[in-house]
Chains A and B, each alone.
Chain A
Amino acid sequence: MAITKQNLLALNGDEAVAYAVKQSDVDVVSAYPITPQTIIVERFSEYVHNGEVDTEFVCVESEHSALSMCLTASATGVRVFTASGSAGLALMHEILYVTSGARAPVVMAIVNRALSGPINIHCDHSDSMVERDAGWIQIYVENSQEAYDSIIQAFRIAEHNDLLIPTMVMLDAFVLSHTLESVNVLPDETVRKFVGTRRIPLVRGHRGKLVPFKLDPENPITMGPLDLYDYYFEHKRQQEEAMQIAPRIIKEVHDEYARISGRKYGNGLIEPYRLEDAEIATVCLGSTAGTTKTVVDQLRTKGIKAGLLRLRTYRPYPVQDIVNALENVEAVAVMDRSHSFGAHGGPVFHEMRHILYEASIHPQIVDYIYGLGGRDMPQTLIHEIYRDLQKIVKTKRVEKPIQFIGVRE
């Protein structure tokens, strides 16, 4: 298949998301504005009010209702989208679990913003990291182009009948949400064809026959029962099974999209950058990867074998891909843009170190908590991390496994 001719638009991350939603034949959008996600709902309101989409758009009174509406709209068989971040995502917390448990393939954009308090509107990953156990697929993007591409892919992933897993796409507050970038957009019809129409699988309901898995007066089913110790566990096991299949589907959708757009993000799960022969590497999520790639390039010109591993898909967690990517690395620095107070490091570090325990490789590993509440992560600090890694390789020991970088003493 030939790469489709595309239009180059100047869009910020929020606009890129709204544009992708506009093209994805979404039936219902229900959302509540929160800085820095606001532009998504504003742009989409304009599309609705200018007659550019025929989506039913509902401005609700809270994020809790936004997701509650999306959940039952999805259960009625249509394609839905919402967007949030920070406190808004926290207010959805309860319904996130209900949505994944109901196997409602809701797609949501999260503009990553710090959680209060004190209140802060800038970027860190504390909002979505706490939701990593909510049964959703999580995709973290590096730039606005990827935000656009990932939203389109997310509909295909979430609605895949082997998955039916709600999917959230994360983009960093302001750095991506409010910053203009050149974004290549596919023609409307190409996107429409790619996302297709939502297909509904069959389930066996209380009348004993196979019926569509949706709220349909012709074939009534009951969703969301009181599920006690005799079957709740089985339903959770089913969710895990779908998550086990998800990496394959995410890769397939990513690859198919790459064939029409010409754009790839690693293998869809992880994006290794100059890792093949790297001795030292950082691991990060989101826009920080962009800055880090520049630093890696600078180090490489000095002959330092530096690399980067960007985690794109955080749920499901791509265990084997990560292990393979870090195979030859001697020291790894994990960059955590959120913190688990009182724990041994941030969440990304936890899982990274955890999977290496049973792996055949055991690089030295260190955690850097950075950028909380939008604190800048300049190249100089990233250079500092790589310098630490060089020292670790030399001394073969990690002096301080958990460090806070960019914070004043």
Chain B
Amino acid sequence: MASKWKFTTKDLAEKPEILMSGHRACAGCGPAIVYRQILKATRGPIIATNATGCMEVVSTIYPYTAWSIPFIHTAFENVAANAAGIETALKALKKKGQLKYDHVDVIAFAGDGGTYDIGIQALSGAAERGHDFLYVLYDNEAYMNTGIQRSGGTPHGAWTTTSPAGRVIPGKPEYKKPIADIMVAHGIPYVAAASPAHWRDLITKARKGLEVNGPAFLHVIAPCPRGWRYDTSKTIEITRLAVDTCVFPLWEAIDGEYALSAPSKVIALKPERKIPVKDYLKVQGRFRHLFTPEFEHVIDEIQQIIDRRWKRLLKKCDMA
């Protein structure tokens, strides 16, 4: 499946902003960049729904809304069901000849809390039933809205307020759940991993996700300057490092067939380009405690996990 859509940067800049300025995301917010980029991929009428979380809050503080398209938020754990409800209603309207459009896209946004953890049941159900919608996971790797608590998406060793850098336990003991692989295992037609640093790749993937018939799942790394403890100007730099270290490789799975995307394919072909994980960790305060004699072995552990996962991904992409 290849999207026929071609775009220039100017095309995107001339498209109206769907997420209006005046939203109250923090300075340097990764998710806000992700939203803006994804919403540049729309192809026509669209309805959005969002799980409870940072982006829902900052974009709709009553009586203000930053949404120039129809938008609904209801709760934390049900955004996939909400998208399914909209999609089903649109189907019913179309059947009755009451839909003014040939097609309306449905997009669901959720953070890692709303996806890995509390929302996985609704997501799994909606994926199994095959509703036609794009689900965007903006992964800032912790519950940032409530003040940085660990989630199933928080990486090993990271500090959060519920996985503190203690004297005995240095950050989160568990590993990041392979959520996108879980979604591929559902047999849905499109799953992809994207980074806002590689915005062309991200926007193309969002477009593919909208174009495909059936559920599409887009996993996007979306750093949080507050929670990851770095300067607000470094957001994009970090998402680039995540790709270059293979912490967050870019790939897509079309009908379950994995393929690396260009920025990660380059590394697969030229392994010397793979940067040590340490370089990614050291720019983030949430890993600072690992740079001590006592806990630096955790950095090695993290490197091993990343290498293992990268190797497995290469196998899936027939590039081992």
A residues apposed to B, CB below 8 Å: 27-28, 30, 54-56, 58-62, 64-66, 68-78, 80, 94-95, 98, 102, 206, 215-218, 220-228, 230-231
| B75→A56 contact, CB < 8 A | no
Closest 5 CB pairs of A and B: A61-B125, A72-B85, A217-B45, A76-B89, A69-B85
Q: CA A230 – CA B93 in complex, angstroms? A: 36
Known contacts A71-B85, A217-B69, then 11 further A-B pairs from the complex at CB < 8 Å, ordered by chain A residue: A30-B84, A56-B88, A61-B128, A64-B78, A65-B121, A70-B85, A73-B89, A75-B86, A215-B47, A222-B72, A226-B57
Q: Determine if B96 is an interface residue (Cβ-Cβ < 8 Å).
A: yes
The closest CB in chain B to the CB of A222 belongs to: B65
Shortest beta-carbon distance from B165 to chain A in Å? 31
When each residue 104-126 of chain B gets 1 if its CB lies under 8 Å from chain A and 0 otherwise, what string results?
10000000000000000110111
The closest CB in chain B to the CB of A221 belongs to: B70
| B95→A225 contact, CB < 8 A | no
**Known contacts A60-B125, A64-B81, A95-B78, A224 near B72 by CB under 8 Å:** yes
**Known contacts A72-B85, A227-B62, A228-B62, A78 near B128 by CB under 8 Å:** no
When each residue 85-99 of chain B gets 1 if its CB lies under 8 Å from chain A and 0 otherwise, what string results?
110111111011000
Q: CA A84 – CA B108 in complex, angstroms? A: 26
Which B residues lie within 8 Å of A225 (CB)?
60-65, 73
Q: CA A220 – CA B19 in complex, angstroms? A: 13
Q: Determine if B233 is an interface residue (Cβ-Cβ < 8 Å).
A: no
Q: CA A30 – CA B129 in complex, angstroms? A: 12
Shortest beta-carbon distance from B87 to chain A in Å? 9
Q: List 18 A-B contacts (CB under 8 A).
A: A27-B89, A28-B85, A28-B88, A30-B85, A30-B88, A56-B92, A61-B122, A62-B122, A64-B77, A68-B74, A69-B88, A71-B85, A72-B83, A78-B89, A206-B65, A218-B45, A225-B73, A231-B63
Q: CA A95 – CA B122 in complex, angstroms? A: 13
**Known contacts A60-B81, A72-B85, A215-B47, A98 near B93 by CB under 8 Å:** no
The closest CB in chain A to the CB of B131 belongs to: A58
| B60→A102 contact, CB < 8 A | no
Question: How many contacting A-B pairs (Cβ < 8 A)?
Answer: 161
Q: Determine if B68 is an interface residue (Cβ-Cβ < 8 Å).
A: yes
Q: CA A209 – CA B224 in complex, angstroms? A: 36
| B95→A54 contact, CB < 8 A | yes
The closest CB in chain A to the CB of B124 belongs to: A61
Q: CA A61 – CA B123 in complex, angstroms? A: 10
The closest CB in chain A to the CB of B44 belongs to: A217
| B74→A215 contact, CB < 8 A | no
| B92→A65 contact, CB < 8 A | no
Which B residues lie within 8 Å of A231 (CB)?
62-63
Q: CA A383 – CA B312 in complex, angstroms? A: 74
Q: CA A60 – CA B83 in complex, angstroms? A: 13
Shortest beta-carbon distance from A131 to chain B in Å? 16
Q: CA A226 – CA B64 in complex, angstroms? A: 9
| A65→B68 contact, CB < 8 A | no
When each residue 202-232 of chain B gets 1 if its CB lies under 8 Å from chain A and 0 otherwise, what string results?
0000000000000000000000000000000
Q: CA A56 – CA B49 in complex, angstroms? A: 20
Shortest beta-carbon distance from B186 to chain A in Å? 12
Which B residues lie within 8 Å of A76 (CB)?
47, 85-86, 89-90, 93
B residues apposed to A, CB below 8 Å: 45-47, 49, 56-57, 60-65, 67-75, 77-78, 80-86, 88-93, 95-96, 100-101, 104, 121-122, 124-126, 128-129
Which B residues lie within 8 Å of A228 (CB)?
61-62
Most buried by B among A68, A206, A230: A68
| B47→A217 contact, CB < 8 A | yes
Q: CA A62 – CA B85 in complex, angstroms? A: 14
Which A residues lie within 8 Å of B89 (CB)?
27-28, 56, 72-74, 76-78, 80
The closest CB in chain A to the CB of B67 belongs to: A222
**Known contacts A68-B85, A220-B67, A225-B65, A55 near B60 by CB under 8 Å:** no
Which A residues lie within 8 Å of B73 (CB)?
223-225
Shortest beta-carbon distance from B127 to chain A in Å? 10
Q: CA A30 – CA B121 in complex, angstroms? A: 16
Which B residues lie within 8 Å of A70 (CB)?
85
Q: CA A215 – CA B82 in complex, angstroms? A: 12
Which A residues lie within 8 Å of B85 (CB)?
28, 30, 68-76
| B125→A62 contact, CB < 8 A | yes
Pick from A72, A78, A217, A221: contact of B82, CB under 8 Å: A72
Which B residues lie within 8 Å of A27 (CB)?
89, 92-93, 96
| B81→A68 contact, CB < 8 A | yes
| B91→A72 contact, CB < 8 A | no
| A58→B84 contact, CB < 8 A | yes
Most buried by B among A60, A62, A64, A220: A220
Q: CA A67 – CA B160 in complex, angstroms? A: 33
Which A residues lie within 8 Å of B81 (CB)?
60, 64-66, 68-69, 72
The closest CB in chain A to the CB of B65 belongs to: A222
The closest CB in chain A to the CB of B18 belongs to: A220
The closest CB in chain A to the CB of B58 belongs to: A226
Pick from B61, B62, B100, B122: contact of A218, CB under 8 Å: B100
| A65→B61 contact, CB < 8 A | no
| B78→A65 contact, CB < 8 A | yes
Q: CA A215 – CA B100 in complex, angstroms? A: 13
Which B residues lie within 8 Å of A28 (CB)?
85, 88-89, 92
Which A residues lie within 8 Å of B124 (CB)?
61
Q: CA A31 – CA B123 in complex, angstroms? A: 16
Pick from B60, B72, B95, B101: contact of A72, CB under 8 Å: B72
Shortest beta-carbon distance from B44 to chain A in Å? 8
**Known contacts A68-B122, A77-B89, A78-B92, A95 near B65 by CB under 8 Å:** no
